[in-house]
């Protein structure tokens, strides 16, 4: 199955869950879809690998965007029956990702926590001479958290070349545009000043994503790699794209049908 079809299926599932369960964070879930597909594909994250000691560890710091992550797990056949079990009382498919679900390394939702943990895992693997890679997906808004910058300093000092940090840079956070809340620019230069290997790419372009991730997997670099992925919040649904409301508001029935048509007709 092509990555484009994977992405289309995930977007439809995200839309379906948001509509039927009246849940938030559809915009941030839609912006990260291609990133997830490329990571799952290139790092071979699948049912057989989830308990393998040499598996790639994926930490998803933007745990509030659970719709995309759970949908990716189902698309890659790690979980099943997501729609029937999402957000039910006492269930594991909670509205922030839950480590009780197969394929979830760590429960997240409190922003700024996953990168420090990813650094700890990367350090442990390096000390054990285990060549497994660690990937951490961050939202751009959570770069306001100081714990991320402490972790970046740590990752460079300890030469965690096995760590890939991916920024979903959709430039909108819960209360506005990132350049209005706390301006992150010049973001690439900031990371480079830490001696981190930093690339900035189109986060919806599979060719660019696959190339940079493949380069990381085969690299002999000394320091961690950061991929700043320019993305569009609400990507794939015209009335959600670049809208702050997509952080909160699920679609009504008319919007659901219109969005479904747009996703199905995407090329």
pLDDT at 170: 98
Which whole-number Å values give the CA distances from 5 to 35, 189, 263, 264, 266, in the listed order?
A: 14, 35, 11, 10, 10
| pLDDT for 267 beyond 90 | no
pLDDT at 83: 93
Q: What is the pLDDT of residues 126-180, one digit of tens each?
A: 999 999 999 999 999 999 999 999 999 999 999 999 999 999 999 999 888 999 9
- CB count within 10 Å of CB 260 equals 17
| pLDDT for 251 beyond 90 | yes
- CB count within 10 Å of CB 172 equals 25
Q: What is the pLDDT of residues 40-58, one digit of tens each?
A: 999 999 999 998 999 999 9
Q: Would you place residue 219 in the very low, low, confident or very high pLDDT band (cuts 50, 70, 90)?
A: confident
Cβ contact 230:184 at 8 Å: no
Closest CA to 123 of 57, 48, 63, 168: 57
Q: Would you place residue 226 in the very low, low, confident or very high pLDDT band (cuts 50, 70, 90)?
A: very high
| pLDDT for 265 beyond 80 | yes
Cis peptide bond upstream of 186, omega within 30: yes
The Cα 234–Cα 211 span in angstroms is: 24
Helix 3-21 vs helix 66-75: crossing angle, to nearest 10? 130
Percent of the chain at pLDDT exceeding 70: 100
- As a residue count, the chain comes to 267
pTM for the whole thing? 0.97
Domains of the chain by range and CATH? Answer: 3-265 (3.40.50.970)
| pLDDT for 1 beyond 90 | no
Find the mean pLDDT for residues 100-109.
94
| pLDDT for 239 beyond 90 | yes
């Amino acid at each position: 199955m092509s990555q484009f079809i994977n992405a289309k299926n995930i977007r439809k599932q995200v839309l379906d869950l948001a509509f039927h369960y009246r849940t938030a964070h559809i915009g941030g879930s839609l912006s990260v879809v291609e990133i997830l597909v490329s990571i799952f594909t290139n790092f071979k994250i699948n049912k057989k690998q989830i308990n393998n000691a040499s598996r790639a560890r994926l930490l998803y710091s933007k745990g509030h965007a659970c719709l995309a992550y759970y949908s990716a797990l189902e698309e890659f056949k790690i979980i099943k029956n997501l729609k029937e079990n999402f957000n039910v009382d006492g269930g594991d498919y909670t509205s922030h990702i839950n480590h009780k679900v197969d394929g979830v390394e760590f429960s997240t939702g409190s922003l700024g926590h996953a990168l420090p943990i990813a650094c700890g895992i990367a350090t442990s693997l390096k000390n054990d001479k285990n060549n497994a890679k660690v990937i951490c997906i961050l939202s751009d808004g959570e770069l306001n958290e100081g714990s991320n910058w402490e972790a970046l300093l740590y990752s460079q000092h300890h030469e965690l070349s096995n760590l890939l940090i991916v920024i979903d840079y959709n430039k909108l956070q819960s209360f506005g545009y990132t350049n209005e809340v706390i301006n992150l620019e010049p973001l690439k230069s900031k990371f480079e000043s830490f001696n981190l290997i930093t690339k900035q790419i189109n986060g919806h372009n599979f060719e660019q994503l696959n190339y940079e991730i493949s380069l990381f997997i085969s690299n002999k670099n000394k320091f961690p790699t950061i991929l700043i992925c320019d993305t569009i919040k609400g990507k794939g649904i015209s009335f959600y794209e670049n809208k702050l409301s997509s952080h909160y508001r699920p679609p009504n029935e008319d919007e659901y049908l219109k969005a479904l048509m747009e996703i199905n007709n995407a090329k």
